[in-house]
């Protein structure tokens, strides 16, 4: 279960299966290959096989970073009448 730290495109793989449940909620492992579904996303786990990828995005520019940024922005927009200290 290695955690992928960045988004990328698979350039070499050997029976690679990824757990994308952290992003999609889908519990089935996803088979990745060069010709079919080569995109690898940060925050997902390698469950079987091995591979190499070219990194395309890290941090706030990755898919998980974008999701966390949007979730944080949604929390800041909510105004419940209290100041920032929670009083």
**pLDDT tens digits for range 65-74:** 998 899 887 6
Average pLDDT over residues 30-38: 94
Where are the chain's structural domains? 3-74
DSSP H or E segment with residue 69: helix 63-77
**Does domain 3-74 fall into CATH 2.70.150.10?**
yes
Residues 31, 16 contacting (CB under 8 angstroms): yes
What are the pLDDT digits (tens) for 36-83?
A: 999 999 999 999 999 999 999 999 999 989 988 998 876 665 555 555
Can you give the pLDDT at residue 1?
76
The two beta strands, 2-3 and 45-57, are antiparallel
How many Cα neighbours within 13 Å face the side chain of 24?
14
30 SS3 class: strand
| Confidence (pTM) | 0.77
For 36-58, the DSSP string reads S--EE-TT-EEEEEEEEEEEEE-
**Structure tokens belonging to residue 30:** 């996803």
């Amino acid at each position: 279960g290695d955690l992928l730290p960045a988004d990328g495109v698979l350039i070499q793989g050997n029976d690679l299966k990824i757990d994308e449940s952290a992003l999609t909620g889908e519990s089935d492992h996803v088979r990745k290959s060069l010709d079919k579904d080569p995109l690898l996303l940060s925050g997902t786990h390698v469950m079987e096989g091995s591979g190499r990828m070219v990194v395309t995005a890290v941090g706030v520019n990755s898919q998980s970073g974008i999701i966390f940024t949007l979730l944080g922005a949604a929390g800041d927009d909510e105004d419940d009448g209290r100041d920032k200290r929670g009083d």
